[in-house]
Protein backbone atom coordinates (compact mmCIF):
# COMPACT_ATOMS: atom_id res chain seq x y z
CA UNK A 1 0.00 0.00 0.00
CA UNK A 2 2.88 2.35 0.68
CA UNK A 3 4.00 4.62 -2.12
CA UNK A 4 6.66 6.43 -0.10
CA UNK A 5 10.23 5.38 -0.63
CA UNK A 6 12.44 6.45 2.23
CA UNK A 7 11.77 7.22 5.85
CA UNK A 8 14.11 9.25 8.01
CA UNK A 9 12.89 7.36 11.10
CA UNK A 10 16.16 7.07 13.04
CA UNK A 11 15.66 3.50 14.29
CA UNK A 12 14.54 1.71 11.11
CA UNK A 13 16.61 -1.25 9.97
CA UNK A 14 18.49 -1.65 13.24
CA UNK A 15 19.03 -5.20 14.55
CA UNK A 16 17.94 -4.17 18.02
CA UNK A 17 14.43 -3.08 16.99
CA UNK A 18 12.76 -6.20 18.48
CA UNK A 19 14.32 -5.47 21.85
CA UNK A 20 13.54 -1.79 21.57
CA UNK A 21 9.84 -2.36 20.88
CA UNK A 22 9.62 -4.83 23.73
CA UNK A 23 11.23 -2.31 26.10
CA UNK A 24 8.78 0.39 24.99
CA UNK A 25 5.78 -1.87 25.56
CA UNK A 26 7.02 -2.82 29.03
CA UNK A 27 7.47 0.79 30.10
CA UNK A 28 4.66 2.54 28.25
CA UNK A 29 1.72 0.14 28.01
CA UNK A 30 0.43 0.73 31.57
CA UNK A 31 0.00 4.47 30.87
CA UNK A 32 -1.46 3.90 27.41
CA UNK A 33 -3.98 1.35 28.67
CA UNK A 34 -5.12 3.73 31.41
CA UNK A 35 -5.66 6.40 28.79
CA UNK A 36 -7.52 4.17 26.28
CA UNK A 37 -9.66 2.50 28.93
CA UNK A 38 -11.17 5.89 29.85
CA UNK A 39 -12.61 6.49 26.37
CA UNK A 40 -16.28 5.75 25.87
CA UNK A 41 -15.89 3.66 22.73
CA UNK A 42 -19.05 2.31 21.12
CA UNK A 43 -19.56 -1.45 20.99
CA UNK A 44 -18.11 -2.74 17.73
CA UNK A 45 -15.72 0.21 17.52
CA UNK A 46 -13.60 0.74 14.40
CA UNK A 47 -10.01 1.30 15.53
CA UNK A 48 -6.78 2.29 13.77
CA UNK A 49 -3.42 1.72 15.47
CA UNK A 50 -0.81 3.81 13.60
CA UNK A 51 2.86 2.76 13.74
CA UNK A 52 1.81 -0.37 15.62
CA UNK A 53 5.37 -1.60 16.35
CA UNK A 54 5.11 -4.90 18.27
CA UNK A 55 1.29 -4.83 18.32
CA UNK A 56 0.50 -4.75 22.06
CA UNK A 57 -1.84 -1.78 21.72
CA UNK A 58 -3.58 -3.25 18.67
CA UNK A 59 -4.27 -6.31 20.85
CA UNK A 60 -5.70 -4.11 23.57
CA UNK A 61 -7.89 -2.25 21.07
CA UNK A 62 -9.28 -5.61 19.91
CA UNK A 63 -10.35 -6.28 23.50
CA UNK A 64 -11.85 -2.81 23.90
CA UNK A 65 -13.72 -3.00 20.60
CA UNK A 66 -15.26 -6.34 21.57
CA UNK A 67 -17.18 -8.66 19.29
CA UNK A 68 -18.03 -6.93 16.03
CA UNK A 69 -15.20 -4.42 16.50
CA UNK A 70 -12.44 -3.99 13.93
CA UNK A 71 -8.81 -3.04 14.37
CA UNK A 72 -6.47 -2.01 11.57
CA UNK A 73 -2.80 -2.03 12.64
CA UNK A 74 -0.44 -0.24 10.26
CA UNK A 75 3.30 0.36 10.17
CA UNK A 76 6.09 0.90 7.65
CA UNK A 77 7.42 -2.44 8.89
CA UNK A 78 4.64 -4.90 9.70
CA UNK A 79 6.96 -7.84 10.43
CA UNK A 80 6.79 -7.35 14.21
CA UNK A 81 3.08 -6.64 14.68
CA UNK A 82 1.71 -9.52 16.76
CA UNK A 83 -2.03 -8.88 16.84
CA UNK A 84 -4.10 -11.89 15.73
CA UNK A 85 -7.56 -10.69 14.73
CA UNK A 86 -6.37 -7.27 13.56
CA UNK A 87 -6.00 -6.35 9.90
CA UNK A 88 -2.30 -5.67 9.44
CA UNK A 89 -1.23 -3.33 6.64
CA UNK A 90 2.04 -1.86 5.48
CA UNK A 91 1.28 1.84 5.38
CA UNK A 92 3.22 5.08 5.42
CA UNK A 93 1.19 7.49 7.50
CA UNK A 94 2.96 10.43 5.85
CA UNK A 95 1.75 9.69 2.36
CA UNK A 96 -0.75 6.83 2.12
CA UNK A 97 -4.51 7.42 2.28
CA UNK A 98 -6.28 6.26 5.43
CA UNK A 99 -6.82 2.51 5.29
CA UNK A 100 -10.21 1.03 4.43
CA UNK A 101 -12.36 0.24 7.43
CA UNK A 102 -12.94 3.82 8.54
CA UNK A 103 -14.06 6.31 9.45
CA UNK A 104 -12.64 5.34 12.82
CA UNK A 105 -14.06 5.61 16.32
CA UNK A 106 -10.53 5.73 17.71
CA UNK A 107 -7.13 6.34 16.17
CA UNK A 108 -4.07 5.85 18.35
CA UNK A 109 -0.38 6.51 17.65
CA UNK A 110 2.42 6.27 20.24
CA UNK A 111 5.91 7.68 19.68
CA UNK A 112 5.33 7.88 15.92
CA UNK A 113 4.41 11.43 14.89
CA UNK A 114 7.19 13.08 16.91
CA UNK A 115 9.66 11.28 14.63
CA UNK A 116 8.12 12.66 11.44
CA UNK A 117 8.94 16.14 10.12
CA UNK A 118 5.47 16.11 8.49
CA UNK A 119 3.78 15.56 11.89
CA UNK A 120 1.32 18.45 11.58
CA UNK A 121 0.03 17.34 8.16
CA UNK A 122 -0.14 13.75 9.42
CA UNK A 123 -2.17 14.90 12.43
CA UNK A 124 -4.65 16.70 10.15
CA UNK A 125 -4.98 13.54 8.02
CA UNK A 126 -5.75 11.47 11.11
CA UNK A 127 -8.47 13.93 12.17
CA UNK A 128 -10.01 13.60 8.69
CA UNK A 129 -10.10 9.80 9.16
CA UNK A 130 -12.13 10.03 12.40
CA UNK A 131 -15.84 9.34 12.55
CA UNK A 132 -17.99 12.08 14.13
CA UNK A 133 -17.50 11.67 17.90
CA UNK A 134 -14.35 9.57 17.30
CA UNK A 135 -11.27 9.89 19.51
CA UNK A 136 -7.75 10.75 18.43
CA UNK A 137 -5.14 9.62 20.98
CA UNK A 138 -1.60 10.77 20.27
CA UNK A 139 1.15 9.81 22.69
CA UNK A 140 4.61 11.32 22.47
CA UNK A 141 7.54 11.96 24.72
CA UNK A 142 9.05 15.26 25.70
CA UNK A 143 12.75 15.49 26.48
CA UNK A 144 14.98 18.51 26.89
CA UNK A 145 18.30 18.59 24.99
CA UNK A 146 20.27 18.34 28.24
CA UNK A 147 19.05 14.80 28.78
CA UNK A 148 17.19 12.84 31.44
CA UNK A 149 17.52 13.96 35.08
CA UNK A 150 19.59 11.61 37.25
CA UNK A 151 18.17 10.75 40.68
CA UNK A 152 20.98 8.71 42.29
CA UNK A 153 24.52 7.87 41.22
CA UNK A 154 27.65 6.88 43.10
CA UNK A 155 29.80 9.54 41.36
CA UNK A 156 29.04 12.97 39.84
CA UNK A 157 30.92 11.91 36.70
CA UNK A 158 28.45 9.04 36.20
CA UNK A 159 25.51 11.42 36.39
CA UNK A 160 27.21 13.79 33.95
CA UNK A 161 28.00 10.98 31.49
CA UNK A 162 24.42 9.69 31.54
CA UNK A 163 22.94 13.15 31.02
CA UNK A 164 25.32 13.80 28.14
CA UNK A 165 24.46 10.38 26.67
CA UNK A 166 20.65 10.77 26.93
CA UNK A 167 20.91 14.34 25.60
CA UNK A 168 22.91 13.07 22.62
CA UNK A 169 20.29 10.38 21.90
CA UNK A 170 17.63 13.09 21.78
CA UNK A 171 19.81 15.25 19.54
CA UNK A 172 20.40 12.34 17.15
CA UNK A 173 16.63 11.91 16.83
CA UNK A 174 16.20 15.65 16.26
CA UNK A 175 18.85 15.57 13.53
CA UNK A 176 16.81 12.86 11.80
CA UNK A 177 13.75 15.15 11.78
CA UNK A 178 12.14 14.31 15.14
CA UNK A 179 10.81 16.95 17.51
CA UNK A 180 11.60 15.42 20.92
CA UNK A 181 9.67 18.16 22.74
CA UNK A 182 6.51 18.17 20.64
CA UNK A 183 4.61 16.09 23.20
CA UNK A 184 4.61 18.97 25.67
CA UNK A 185 5.18 21.87 23.31
CA UNK A 186 2.85 22.00 20.36
CA UNK A 187 0.80 18.82 20.20
CA UNK A 188 -2.03 19.97 22.47
CA UNK A 189 -2.38 23.29 20.63
CA UNK A 190 -2.21 21.54 17.24
CA UNK A 191 -5.05 19.22 18.25
CA UNK A 192 -7.15 22.12 19.52
CA UNK A 193 -6.50 24.06 16.29
CA UNK A 194 -7.86 21.11 14.33
CA UNK A 195 -11.15 21.71 16.19
CA UNK A 196 -11.02 18.56 18.27
CA UNK A 197 -13.16 18.80 21.37
CA UNK A 198 -12.40 17.81 24.98
CA UNK A 199 -8.66 17.95 24.30
CA UNK A 200 -6.88 16.62 27.36
CA UNK A 201 -3.24 15.84 28.11
CA UNK A 202 -1.70 13.60 30.78
CA UNK A 203 2.06 13.55 31.46
CA UNK A 204 3.58 10.51 33.15
CA UNK A 205 7.21 10.09 34.06
CA UNK A 206 8.53 6.94 35.69
CA UNK A 207 11.84 6.61 37.43
CA UNK A 208 14.05 3.64 36.62
CA UNK A 209 16.84 1.86 38.46
CA UNK A 210 19.85 0.11 36.98
CA UNK A 211 19.02 -3.50 36.17
CA UNK A 212 15.24 -2.81 36.15
CA UNK A 213 12.93 -2.77 33.13
CA UNK A 214 13.51 0.93 32.40
CA UNK A 215 17.25 0.40 32.00
CA UNK A 216 16.93 -1.78 28.90
CA UNK A 217 16.23 0.97 26.40
CA UNK A 218 19.41 2.85 27.36
CA UNK A 219 21.48 -0.29 26.98
CA UNK A 220 19.88 -0.86 23.56
CA UNK A 221 20.57 2.74 22.48
CA UNK A 222 24.30 2.35 23.18
CA UNK A 223 24.36 -0.36 20.50
CA UNK A 224 21.61 0.82 18.17
CA UNK A 225 22.95 4.38 17.92
CA UNK A 226 26.65 3.52 18.32
CA UNK A 227 27.77 5.19 15.07
CA UNK A 228 26.02 8.54 15.57
CA UNK A 229 27.03 8.52 19.26
CA UNK A 230 30.66 7.96 18.28
CA UNK A 231 30.33 10.80 15.80
CA UNK A 232 29.31 12.96 18.77
CA UNK A 233 32.47 12.11 20.68
CA UNK A 234 31.42 9.06 22.73
CA UNK A 235 34.11 6.40 22.90
CA UNK A 236 33.34 2.69 23.11
CA UNK A 237 34.56 2.99 26.73
CA UNK A 238 31.94 5.70 27.43
CA UNK A 239 29.20 3.52 25.93
CA UNK A 240 30.35 0.51 27.95
CA UNK A 241 30.21 2.70 31.06
CA UNK A 242 26.62 3.75 30.24
CA UNK A 243 25.75 0.02 29.97
CA UNK A 244 27.36 -0.50 33.37
CA UNK A 245 25.23 2.28 34.87
CA UNK A 246 22.15 0.75 33.26
CA UNK A 247 22.91 -2.45 35.17
CA UNK A 248 23.84 -0.75 38.48
CA UNK A 249 21.06 -0.87 41.12
CA UNK A 250 22.65 2.20 42.75
CA UNK A 251 21.98 4.29 39.65
CA UNK A 252 18.54 5.76 38.98
CA UNK A 253 17.14 8.43 36.71
CA UNK A 254 13.87 9.58 35.20
CA UNK A 255 12.68 7.71 32.11
CA UNK A 256 11.38 9.27 28.91
CA UNK A 257 8.02 10.87 29.76
CA UNK A 258 4.84 9.62 28.11
CA UNK A 259 2.60 12.52 27.13
CA UNK A 260 -0.86 11.24 26.19
CA UNK A 261 -3.13 13.74 24.49
CA UNK A 262 -6.61 12.88 23.33
CA UNK A 263 -9.36 14.84 21.64
CA UNK A 264 -12.66 14.06 20.05
CA UNK A 265 -14.12 15.01 16.68
CA UNK A 266 -17.34 16.97 16.99
CA UNK A 267 -20.52 14.95 16.42
CA UNK A 268 -21.63 17.49 13.85
CA UNK A 269 -18.29 17.56 11.98
C1 LIG B 1 9.26 4.24 18.47
S2 LIG B 1 8.38 3.01 17.56
C3 LIG B 1 6.87 2.91 18.50
C4 LIG B 1 6.12 1.64 18.24
C5 LIG B 1 4.78 1.53 18.97
N6 LIG B 1 3.88 2.60 18.56
C7 LIG B 1 4.98 1.58 20.46
O8 LIG B 1 4.84 2.66 21.06
O9 LIG B 1 5.28 0.52 21.05
C10 LIG B 1 7.82 3.90 16.13
C11 LIG B 1 7.06 3.03 15.13
O12 LIG B 1 6.59 3.87 14.07
C13 LIG B 1 6.83 3.25 12.83
N14 LIG B 1 6.95 4.29 11.80
C15 LIG B 1 7.97 5.15 11.61
N16 LIG B 1 7.72 5.95 10.55
C17 LIG B 1 6.48 5.58 10.09
C18 LIG B 1 5.67 6.04 9.01
N19 LIG B 1 6.07 7.03 8.20
N20 LIG B 1 4.46 5.42 8.80
C21 LIG B 1 4.06 4.42 9.62
N22 LIG B 1 4.79 3.94 10.66
C23 LIG B 1 5.99 4.52 10.88
C24 LIG B 1 8.12 2.47 13.05
O25 LIG B 1 8.28 1.44 12.09
C26 LIG B 1 7.92 1.95 14.49
O27 LIG B 1 7.23 0.72 14.52
pLDDT tens profile 165-216: 999 999 999 999 999 999 999 999 999 999 999 999 999 999 999 999 999 9
Report if residue 58 sits inside a domain: yes
Query: Residue 22 belongs to what H/E stretch?
Result: helix 17-37
269 domain residue, yes or no: no
Residues 21-52: b if buried by 16+ CB within 10 A, e if exposed: bbbbbebbbebbeebbeebebeeebbbbbbbb
| Parallel, antiparallel or unpaired: strands 87-90 and 70-75 | parallel
Q: Can you give the pLDDT at residue 18?
A: 86
CA-CA-CA-CA torsion sign (31, 32, 35, 37): negative
pLDDT band at 8 (very low <50, low <70, confident <90, very high): low
Please, what is the end-to-end C-alpha distance for the chain in angstroms?
A: 28
- Ligand 1 nearest atom to the CA of residue 109, by list position: 6
Residue 5, pLDDT score: 37
- Give me the residues paired with residue 75 across strands: 90
What domain count does the chain have? Answer: 1
123/190 Cα distance (integer angstroms): 8
**Model confidence, pTM:** 0.94
Ligand 1 neighbour 24 (Cβ under 6 A): yes
Count of alpha carbons within 13 Å of 166, Cβ hemisphere only?
24
CATH code of the domain in which 78 resides: 3.40.50.150
Domain membership of residue 184 as a residue range: 17-264
* Mean pLDDT of all residues in 118-126: 98
256 pocket-lining for ligand 1 (C-beta < 6 Å): no
> Could you read off the pLDDT of 207-230 as tens digits, one per residue?
999 999 999 999 999 999 999 999
CA of 52 to the centre of ligand 1 (A): 6
- Residue whose CB lies within 8 A of the most ligand 1 atoms, among 75, 109, 123, 256, for a mutation test: 75
Amino acid sequence: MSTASQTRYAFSGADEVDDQLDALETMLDPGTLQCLDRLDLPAGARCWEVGAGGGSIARHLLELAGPGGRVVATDLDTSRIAAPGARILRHDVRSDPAPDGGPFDVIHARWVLMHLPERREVLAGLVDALAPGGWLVIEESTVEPDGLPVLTSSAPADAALFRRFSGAVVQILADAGADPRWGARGLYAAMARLRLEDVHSVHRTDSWTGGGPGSRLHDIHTRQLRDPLRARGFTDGDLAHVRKLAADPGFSALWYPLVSTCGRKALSA
